[in-house]
Amino acid sequence: MSLFTVQRAVLQALEAWERRHPTGSAWPTFLAEWQRACRMERHPGTARERQETWQRWLEGGRPLTRDRERALLEGAGPGAVRVLAALRLTSREPGSDDDVP
């Protein structure tokens, strides 16, 4: 009954998921893998442990730049693309020359 073993299994599954799905929500995969790993390890898996593991994975991701944000929104589907267009977001980074009014 090791939390470490559960976390390692879940994080490895999420890494594999991310290679196959660069956009979209990893939560369904995370939850299924969390439950599977907890059953296999016979670990009760508290809500706090689950959320800490989820947060650990989120913090290990690539930084969210404007270009990455745009790619994620565009990958989320037509609804997100319409929102992106309505917001008129540009692909510039903070501190660029375009920030000056």
Cβ neighbours of residue 4 closer than 8 Å, sequence gap 6 or more: none
pTM for the full predicted model: 0.61
Tokens of 51: 């959320």
Domain ranges of the chain: 3-59, 66-96
Here the contacts of 53-56 (C-beta below 8 Å, separation 24 or greater) are 53/6, 53/7, 53/10, 53/11, 54/27, 54/30, 56/7, 56/11
Q: What confidence score (pLDDT) does residue 45 get?
A: 93
Determine which helix (DSSP H) or strand (DSSP E) holds 47, and give its type and residue range.
helix 47-59
So what's the pLDDT on residue 75? 75
> Can you list the residues of the chain whose pLDDT is less than 50?
98-101
Calculate the average pLDDT of the chain: 81
Q: Which residues contact 97 (CB under 8 A, 6 or more apart)?
A: none
Q: Look at residue 95 in the predicted model and tell me its pLDDT.
A: 58
Q: How confident is the model at residue 18, as a pLDDT?
A: 84
